Amino acid sequence: MDSETQTKASVIDGKAFAADLRAEVAEGVAAFVARTGRKPGLAVVLVGEDPASQVYVRNKHKSTVEAGMNSFEHRLPADTAQEDLLALVAQLNDDPAVDGILVQLPLPAGLDENAVIQAIDPDKDVDGFTTASAGRLLTGLPGFVACTPLGCLMLLKDRLGDLSGKSAVVIGRSNIVGKPMAQLLLRESCTVTIAHSRTADLPSVVRGADIVVAAVGRPEMVKGDWLKPGATVIDVGINRVPAENGKTKLVGDVDFASASAVAGAITPVPGGVGPMTIACLLYNTLDAARRREGVD
């Protein structure tokens, strides 16, 4: 591609957008409390002592309290029995103070993640992981959408406005990002292709897209020459790779340097999609509380 056709992408600031969304949620929480006399409540269940999970749970607790909500933490040992974990989920399903339930993944070996997730009341499934939530999204019924793809959609609509008629490629077919992302884009009347590791001639498939969402878990896989000039690129990947100083650094699934010379707009890693995940968790929790109370 010659220099005349190259562009310098504008960087989509997910951190700033997430801060605005969290402030908006906090305002909504204050209004909810004034109307109902109670705070929305988010229950987070952490089993075991996975270091990364502990950081995530700590950040979620802090953000929940800052938004004016109640945060209920349940920390269980790694040797917790399946039936005891399911009993806790059932207890939270029945607790009127709890509007949203999040079971931090991964669970320790020996626990059935799918059985635990499916036990969550769909009306409290603020992570959007149950099959009921997935089915509601697929069929256009009200429900909760997984936080990461929801955040991606918010960033896209903020950048592009109406997405109708645009061509979108989602690279990755996971149940928590790729598939719901594709459904959200379909709901916005995009023409959507789900690509993956077995897609033939993946670069040419990506090259036809106005919107590219990379969620495949391969460091810097998507190169600049894969992109249509002016495309909007959402990089969901968070990969830790060796750095020149002997330490490690975070990179996305997109080669930012080459992609930013071609794309019209792109999310950085870090500071792009990542901050949106917790913000959308708070958004979903407030939404769950409003629905349970019949508050518009």
**What's residue 244's pLDDT?**
84
Q: How far is CA 24 from the centre of its chain?
A: 18
With tokens 């635990």, the residue in question is 116
**What's residue 2's pLDDT?**
41
Residue 4 confidence (pLDDT) above 60: no
**What's the CA gap between 234 and 12, in Å, rounded?**
9
Residue 296 confidence (pLDDT) above 90: no
- CA-wise closest residue to 272 among 196, 210, 228, 213: 213
Break the chain into its structural domains and give their ranges: 37-130, 146-274
Residue 160 confidence (pLDDT) above 70: yes
**What's the CA gap between 130 and 215, in Å, rounded?**
20
Assign 246 a pLDDT band (cuts: 50, 70, 90).
confident
Max intra-chain CA distance, the chain: 63
**Under CATH, which architecture does the 37-130 domain have?**
3-Layer(aba) Sandwich (3.40)
Residue 91 confidence (pLDDT) above 60: yes
- CA-wise closest residue to 72 among 93, 90, 97, 36: 97
Assign 7 a pLDDT band (cuts: 50, 70, 90).
low
Among this protein's residues, is 104 annotated catalytic? yes
Q: Tell me the pLDDT tens digit for each residue of 14-54.
A: 999 999 999 999 999 999 999 999 999 999 999 999 888 99
From the candidates 104, 166, 179, 183, give the one annotated as an active-site residue. Answer: 104
Domain covering 146-274 in this structure, CATH number: 3.40.50.720
Among this protein's residues, is 183 annotated catalytic? no
From the candidates 60, 124, 166, 228, give the one annotated as an active-site residue. Answer: 60
- CA-wise closest residue to 190 among 147, 156, 224, 233: 156
Q: What is the dihedral of CA 177, 235, 167, 128, to 10 degrees?
A: 20
Q: Is 139 helix (H, G, I), strand (E, B) or coil?
A: helix
Among this protein's residues, is 225 annotated catalytic? no
Q: How far is CA 19 from CA 54, 61, 108, 197, 226, in A?
A: 22, 16, 32, 34, 32
From the candidates 127, 235, 253, 255, give the one annotated as an active-site residue. Answer: 127
**What's residue 3's pLDDT?**
39
Domain 37-130 and domain 146-274 have a common topology: yes
- Do the beta carbons of residue 99 and residue 292 sit within 8 Å? yes
Residue 5 confidence (pLDDT) above 90: no
- Do the beta carbons of residue 285 and residue 259 sit within 8 Å? no
Start-end of H helices in the chain: 14-36, 51-66, 82-94, 113-118, 131-139, 147-160, 178-187, 202-207, 256-259, 274-293
Q: Tell me the pLDDT tens digit for each residue of 97-149.
A: 999 999 999 999 999 999 999 999 999 999 999 999 999 999 999 999 999 99
Assign 245 a pLDDT band (cuts: 50, 70, 90).
confident
Q: Tell me the pLDDT tens digit for each residue of 182-226.
A: 999 999 999 999 999 899 999 999 999 999 999 999 999 999 999
Percent of the chain at pLDDT above 90? 92
